[in-house]
Structure formats: structure tokens, C-alpha cells
Amino acid sequence: MLDIKYIRDHTETLKKAIADKQLNPIIVDEVVRVDDQRRRLLLQVEELRAKANAHTATIKARKPTAEEIAIGKKFKQELQDIEPQLRQVEGTFKDLMYQVPNPAAVDVPIGKDETCNKVVKTWGEIPKFIFKPKTHDELCENLGLLDTKRAVRIAGSRAYFLKNELVILEQAVLNYALNMMIQNGFTPMTVPWMVNDDAMWGTGYFPWGQQDHYGTQDGQKLIGTAEVSLTAYFKDETLNEKDLPMKMVGISPCYRREIGSYGKDTKGFFRVHQFMKVEQVVYTVADEEVTRTMHEEMLGYSERLLQDLKIPYHVLLMCTADMGAGQRRKFDVESWFPGQNAYRETHSDSYFNDFQSRRLNIKYRAKDGTLKYVYTLNNTVAASPRILAAIVENYQQEDGSIVIPEVLRAFVGAELIKSVKSV
């Protein structure tokens, strides 16, 4: 959520920024129009209350006349008539404010689609194979590590069973990622997998991502990332500046309907409805330069994981059209997939300034005693099974076996995955 003063003072600039995100800028005009109405009604209510209070004060110490009683009733009736109007308009105003996107940072490329994203860094050499590399699904099925056919029969499209050593490898990479973040001062947390609408609206996944989330019969929503629970953790609380930055790392299952991805990545387990993820969330002070420094630091943890795994990747600065409505600046990390002969997204790193904290009412008391909204950031550390797919494809051997990355061997207890006996 943006500050209404900012919206009123930067109307045209904000409308252009929203259009740059390929969203409808008319929401700005609607907010300003309803805010004008809200302010007029609020002024009327305040003036009526002041008159009513003054009238009450003049007759408090004596018995009022019939005329004075009538005047008092008139004030009361007028307030009863106008206060419901104010409440209705304030409700409309709040709903509209939730629909105003966050403008992108000044260095974000303006573009109409993903082709306008900018590669800002490339790491690692593309592996050369003396054979045609296979895709992760073919490799895993041949080794008895994956079963999608039976999964689809019982759970529908994009379902999967991981089996045997691949299960152990998944736990290994998640544990490795979690331990790395703990060693860097992040508080490890499991999180609620089901949250209320306040958390979804507060983090900015609603209204724009409502169709992509599963709901329960009790009205809760299944999270698509631990970001939701962690960012909302201090909802309606006031922190202290000395405790910032607040660094949390969550591990959780994630659930996504993948609306709009029909026909894309249907093979294997690259794009699925259910997966595991280690996610970092940080609160900083209300300073964009401080936040940008943290943004780069958080990106560094994703890069460190891929470098430790020796998986080539590149980093993209996302253009305006390929960002979420709430994101101010976003990096995507795309890892190399030899079987697909392409870089594919494995990590996403974003900051929001106070867009989420205003919606969630998370503040901190600054050193000078003033209250400010925290700035929020989030980034993937490891998302499985997508990171598994990258490992499998990059470490495949000509005989179809898979070498375990050196840093994970202690977790897995093996150096190589060969054909295994399977149920």
C-alpha cells in the first residue's frame, strides 16, 4: 500500500509507473476521487461533532430548554445520517488503496514483456557433454527416482512422486540451504501453511494473485511461499530500530495453481502445484539505500548456493512488465539446464520498501522516537524440486547415472546415483 499523500502528490508519475507494469493506471484516479469524497465527509462529521460537543458543554451545568434539546437531537440525527456514508466511503477507499501497485525503482528497465529483462551477471561455464544430455524427467524415471504417471492418476496434473535417493538428495539440498542461512544470522522458522486473507492482502498477493491460490473450506488460503507467513509475522506490531535488520529463513511446502501456465513445462517436475522451499525474509529500516544493499546481499546467498553446487547461472534485473504489482525491484536467477539447453528460473529476489508493511501495519520506533514502517524484502534460497532438476541435468553421466555434488555428499551418504531397485 502506498501513502495517500504520495499518490496525491505524484498522480501522473504514478500512473505512468503503473502503465509501465502493464497494469491499469485508472485506479489512481479512482483513489483520488474517493479520497476527495472521504475527506469532505470526514470534515462534515468533524464539524458536526464539534458543534454537538460545544452545544452539550453549554447546557451541561443546567437544565436545557426545549429548543436546546431539539438542537441537540438535530445534531445527533445529522451525525446518524452522515456517519454511515463516511464508513461506506472509507471502506471503498481502503479497498481501492489495496489495488494500487508499487512503482518500480528508477533503475528498473522499462519493458513490455520478459524479453526486456536485463542480464547483469553470468557465472560458471556451460558444461560440455560428449553425449546428448537428457532432461531431468527422463534421467530420473530411468533411475527409478521419479513417478509422474501414478501421481497424476491420484492427484491430477503436475503431480509427482520422488523416490529413493532423490528424496534424500532433496532433503540434502534443503538442509544445506537452511544451514547456510543460519550461519549467516537468519532465524530458522517453520511457518503456517494455511493463512487468512489478511496475510494474503497484506503481502500483496491479493488482489492480483487470487486465482493462483488454493483455498480451504474454512476460508484459509494455502501459501505459495513462506514469504507470506514470515512477512506477516509481526502484523500490527511495533519493533525497535536496534533490532533491525530482522532476518528470518523459513522452510515450508508451497502450493500454486499455476493459472496461466497451461501447456507449459508439463513434463517432469519443473513447474508443479506443490513443492518445498527455503525462503529468506528481511525487515530493514526505512531507507532505500540500506534496503538495496540488503537486496544485493540476499541475492548473494542464492548465488553462493549455486556456486557451491557448481551450477552455472545468470542473474536478470527484471523489467517493469515482468515484476509483481508490489515489487519495487526484482532479480531472477536462472540456472543452466543442459537437457533443455536453456537457463531457467530457480530463484527470485525482491524488495518492496513499505508497500507490504503499510498493508500489514508493521512499524518500528526509530532512534529519534518517530514511528516508521519497516521495509521488506524476500528471496528464494532453494526451491525443490526445481533445484533438483538443475542438479540432475548438470551432473548426469553418459551411462545415465548422476554424480552427487561434492558439498551434498555428506548429507546423502553417496557420491553417485545409479539404477536402483524401486517399488
Query: Which domains occur in the chain, in start order?
Result: 4-97 (1.10.287.40), 114-417 (3.30.930.10)
Per-residue model confidence as pLDDT tens digits over 244-277? 999 999 999 999 998 776 677 768 889 999 999 9
What's residue 260's pLDDT? 72
Q: Which of 38, 158, 256, 328 is catalytic?
A: 256
**Residues lower than pLDDT 50 in the chain:** none
Catalytic residue at 271? yes
Known catalytic residue at 256 = yes
Using the CB atoms, write b or e for 69-93: b if 16+ within 10 Å.
eebeeebeeebeeeeeebeebeeeb
Whether 269 contacts 160, CB under 8 Å: yes
Query: The pTM is what?
Result: 0.93
Q: Give the model's pLDDT for residue 189.
A: 98
**What does the pLDDT read at residue 364?**
98
Q: Is 304 noted as a catalytic residue in this protein? A: no
Beta strands in 78-222 (DSSP E): 118-123, 146-147, 161-162, 187-190, 194-195, 221-222
From 38, 292, 359, 386, the catalytic residue = 386
Q: Is 359 a catalytic residue?
A: no
Mark 364-376 as b/e (b = at least 16 C-beta within 10 Å).
beeeeeeebbbbb
Active-site residue, 49 included: no
- Of 83, 141, 297, 345, the catalytic one is 345
Q: What is the pLDDT of residue 62?
A: 84
Contact 199, 235 (CB under 8 A): yes
**Per-residue pLDDT, 264:** 77
Question: How far, in Å, are 127, 194, 256, 275 from residue 214 at the CA level?
Answer: 39, 10, 7, 14
